[in-house]
Structure 1
Amino acid sequence: MRILNRSITARSARKVVALSAAAAVTLLAAAGCNNKGSSSASGGSGKAGACDPKQVHLVQSGRGFENPYYVAVDAGAKAFAKSVGLENNYTWIASEGDSSKQLTQIQSLLAKYGKCTVLNVDPNDNSILPAIVTAVQRQGAWLVTQWNKPDGTGPTKSSEHWVSHMSVDGNPQGYNTAKALFQAMGGQGNIVALQGILDNVPAKQRFDGLQKALKEFPNVHLLDNQTANWDQTQGQNVTQTFLTKYGDKINGVWAANDSMALGAVEALKAAGKAGTVKVSGIDGLQQAIDDVKAGNVGYAATTQSTGAAQGGYGLAIGYAAATGKINPAKESAEHRAFYLKFQGIVSADNAATLPPPTDTSKLDFSDVWSCVESPITEG
C-alpha cells in the first residue's frame, strides 16, 4: 500500500474530528450545499459526470485488513474494478481507525487524480464526513459513503458529487442475532453486551435491536454493556473484565460485530467457559461462520456478510456518476441514501451452505441499484 504524505496539520485534523453533528450540518452548508442537489463547488453544475472511463481512478477507504470484513469489501471493490478494466486504477487506503489519517489520505488522492476520482468511503466516524464531502466537491470528484453520516445530512441535501450513502439497517441485525442468542440460552439467563463505536449509526441501531429483543424475553437480563470499538482485542479485554466482575452470572455475550464476538470467544476459552457461555455477533466473518458451523465454542449466530456488495456496488454507483451513466441529481431519494438488502442470519441450520464472505459471483454490476432494499431518511 502506498504511503501518503500528510497535507493538513495535526491541529486542523483534531478540529475536524471534533465536529459535532450540528457543526457538520453547518460545514456542509458552507461548502456550497443546498437542498436542490446543486453546489457552488468545482464541477457542481447538477450535470452528470463526463469522465473518460479509462481515466477514472477508483479508491476504497476503510479501517484495515486486520478486520476480515474489510477483506470482503476489498474483494467486492476489486471485482468491480476488474469488470470495467480498471484493475490498475484501483487503490485501497487503510485509515487504521484514525480519522485524521483518513482525511489526509483522501485529500492526497484527490489532489493526485482530480475530478475523475471515484471514492467509496467508510468514514471512521460521523464527524469526519463533512470534511470528506467538502474535499470531494472542491475537486468535482465523486463520492459514495458507507455506514456513517451525521444526523440531518445526506446526498440529497448536498450535491451530486456526494452520489449515494448506503448502510445496512442495524435494527434487524441486532434483534435477530439477539433472539438466536437467547434461544440458545434456553430463553433465560444473563448477558453482557459489547457495543461498537458509540458515535456510529450501525452501533446505535444494533444496540436498539438488542433492547427490542430483551423486551420480548423477560427472563433474559442485561447485566452490563460497554464499547469495544469494533475491535477483537478490545472485545477480548472487555469480556475478561466482565468475567472478573460477574463470573458465573454470565450466560451469554451479545456483540455488535463479529470481531468483538471473536475476542469474547478467546476470553471465554481462557476462562474455561467456551461453549458454556453463548455468543452472538454480526457481519458474517468467515471465522464466525466456521464457529457457528462447528458448534463447539458457543457461537450461536451472526449475520450474512454484506462486505463484498458494499465494496463492489459502492464503486459501481460512483463510477456510473463519474462517467455520465447516471445523473445523481435526477435520481430518486431512495437511490441517494438507502439500506442494502438484509440477507438474514447465520445459524447452525444454514452455516454449512453459505459461500465465503469474499464471494463476488452474484454481484450484478449491470444494475447498480439492484442492491437497494429501502430508503434511509436523511432527517
Structure 2
Amino acid sequence: MSFMKKFVEESKLSRRDFLLKTSLGIGGVAAASMIGPAGMAMASTTPTLAWGYRTPDNPYWNSIASGGENFAKSVGLDMTHLIHGGNNEKILADVKALLSKTRGNLALSVDANDSPNARSIVQACAEKGGFVSTIWNKTDDLHPWEFGDNYVCHISWSDYKPAQEVAEILMEAIGGKGGIVGIGGIASNIPAIERKAGLLKVLENYPEVELLDWQAADWSTTKANNVMATMLTRFGDEIKGIFSSNDSMTLGILEALRAEGLAGQIPIVSFDGAADVVKLIIGGEVLCTVSTNPYWAGGIALSLAYHAAIGTYKPSAEPHEHREFLGPAILITQKDAKKWYEEQIAQIPEYDWKDFWKFSSGQISYEKL
C-alpha cells in the first residue's frame, strides 16, 4: 500500500467531472482529427490523435479513453475513437484506414485485443510512418526498439503478483478450505493469463481449497452473468468463494448472485478498480479490486505517441525500460475503498502528461507462467 500512498499524495486533484459521453467511429476520422476545438482546420503537420480500444460501455475502457481525451484537449486537439468490440480484424482494418486517410500522419494508442494482432498493427504503422503506443497485449518477441521511433512504447501491468494478493484475501475469507470458482477473460490476453496463474500459484498452498471450475467470459458482463448462473446451478452451495478476473465481469457475477438471493454471502475478489466495484467494496458485496489507473495509462500512452510524432520526444534515444514498462497496480480493499473513491474517483486526478514514467513500476520482464 506504500505505492498507493505515494500515488495519492503526488496526484494533483481537481473536481472536474470528465466522463466520456460519446464515441466516434472510423467514419468520423476527417471531422474529428483535422478540426481543432475552435472549428479551425489544423495544419497538415499536426498528427491525428487516435485511441483503439474495445468499448466505451466498459468502465475500464471508458477510463482509458477519458485519459486519452484529457491529453488531447491539453494540446488543443480532438481524439478519434477506433472501437473494435474485441474484433481483431476490425481494429487492424480501422488502423489501416486511418493511416491511409492521414497519409501516415498519425499518433495512435491501441489495445490490439489479441497478442498476435499487435505485430500487424505495429507493422502497418511503421510502413506508413505513423507512431504507435500499445498497451496490455503483444507477443513476447515483439519489441518497440525493433521499429526505430515508430513503435513508441508498450505499457503493461504485472498481474501475477497482484493476483496472488487478491487470491490470498479470498483464501482468508473462506477460512482456507472449501470450493471456489474462477471466471477469466479472453484466454489469449496477457492479464487473463497472469491473473489465472496467480490464483493457481496460491492454491498450491491451500490443499483444502478446490477450484471447482474455471470458465472464460471474455471480459463481458453478460457472459460472466451466464457463466455464473450455470455454475450456481451446477455446484450450488459448494461455492464458497469467487475469483473474478475483472470488474466488468464482477458486475455480471453479482447479478447472477442477486437472482439467487446470494449477493454479499459469497466472497468475491476482482480487478480493475472501476467506480461501480469500488462502491460495492464499500458496501461489502466485494472484498477487493486492483486498480491499474487506466485514466493515467490512456493519457500517457497517447502523449508518448504524440510527442514522438511531432519530434519533441525521440523513442530510439531512450533505454529499453522507457519503451516497455509496467504501470501501477494498486490493491483496494474494504479498509481503504472509501478513501480511494473520494480521492481518485469522485475527483479526477490531473497529470503532467510530459512526465512520462512518473508512475512506471519498472521494465517489463517476460516470465514463463
Tell me the TM-score range normalised by the shorter chain: 0.7 to 0.9
Q: Could you tell me how far 1:186 is from its partner in structure 2? A: 2.8
1:232 to 202, 206, 221: 221
The residue number in structure 1 matching 2:31 is none
Q: Could you tell me how far 1:378 is from its partner in structure 2? A: 6.3
- Consecutive unaligned residues of structure 1, counting only runs of 5 or more, are 6-50
SS in 1 for 2:186: coil
SS in 1 for 2:139: coil
Q: Distance in 1 between matches of 2:192 and 2:211?
A: 17
The residue number in structure 2 matching 1:266 is 255
1:175 to 164, 175, 182: 164
1:141 aligns with 2:130: yes
1:251 aligns with 2:244: no
The C-alpha deviation readout for 1:172-214, integer Å capped at 9, x for no partner, is: 2211121222222233321100111111111111111111222
Letter in 2 for 1:169: S
Q: Distance in 1 between matches of 2:271 and 2:25?
A: 32
Q: Distance in 2 between matches of 1:233 and 1:170?
A: 24
SS in 2 for 1:204: helix
Instruction: Indicate how the Cα distance of structure 1 residues 163 and 378 shifts in structure 2: closer, same or farther if over 3 A, else same.
Output: farther
The C-alpha deviation readout for 1:257-291, integer Å capped at 9, x for no partner, is: 11112111111111221111111110011111000
SS in 2 for 1:241: helix
Letter in 2 for 1:363: Y
Structure 2 counterparts to residues 183-332 of structure 1, below 5 A: 183-295=172-284, 297=285, 299-332=286-319
Q: Could you tell me how far 1:362 is from its partner in structure 2? A: 4.1
Structure 2 counterparts to residues 102-113 of structure 1, below 5 A: 102-113=91-102
Q: Could you tell me how far 1:54 is from its partner in structure 2? A: 6.7
Q: Distance in 1 between matches of 2:131 and 2:366?
A: 19
Instruction: Indicate how the Cα distance of structure 1 residues 128 and 186 shifts in structure 2: closer, same or farther if over 3 A, else same.
Output: same
Instruction: Indicate how the Cα distance of structure 1 residues 194 and 107 shifts in structure 2: closer, same or farther if over 3 A, else same.
Output: same
1:82 to 41, 48, 73: 73
The residue number in structure 2 matching 1:4 is 26
- Consecutive unaligned residues of structure 2, counting only runs of 5 or more, are 1-22, 28-41
Q: Distance in 1 between matches of 2:110 and 2:87?
A: 14
Q: Could you tell me how far 1:95 is from its partner in structure 2? A: 0.5
1:131 aligns with 2:120: yes
SS in 1 for 2:80: strand
Percent identity at matched positions?
33
1:346 aligns with 2:335: no
Instruction: Indicate how the Cα distance of structure 1 residues 52 and 155 shifts in structure 2: closer, same or farther if over 3 A, else same.
Output: farther
1:152 aligns with 2:141: yes
1:65 aligns with 2:50: no
Q: Could you tell me how far 1:305 is from its partner in structure 2? A: 4.1
SS in 2 for 1:282: coil
Q: Distance in 2 between matches of 1:72 and 1:3?
A: 18
Contact kept? 2:185, 2:219, Cα under 8 Å: yes
Instruction: Indicate how the Cα distance of structure 1 residues 101 and 336 shifts in structure 2: closer, same or farther if over 3 A, else same.
Output: same
Alignment: residue pair count: 329
Q: Distance in 1 between matches of 2:306 and 2:44?
A: 8
RMSD over aligned CA atoms reads 2.0
Letter in 1 for 2:89: S
Q: Distance in 1 between matches of 2:111 and 2:260?
A: 35
Q: Distance in 2 between matches of 1:346 and 1:4?
A: 37
Instruction: Indicate how the Cα distance of structure 1 residues 357 and 173 shifts in structure 2: closer, same or farther if over 3 A, else same.
Output: farther
Which range moved further: 56-65 or 150-159? 150-159
Q: Distance in 1 between matches of 2:344 and 2:255?
A: 22
TM superposition score normalised by structure 1:
0.82
1:361 aligns with 2:352: no
SS in 2 for 1:72: helix
Contact kept? 2:53, 2:84, Cα under 8 Å: yes
Q: Distance in 1 between matches of 2:331 and 2:111?
A: 23
Q: Could you tell me how far 1:69 is from its partner in structure 2? A: 0.6
Q: Could you tell me how far 1:57 is from its partner in structure 2? A: 1.4
Which range moved further: 253-262 or 151-160? 151-160
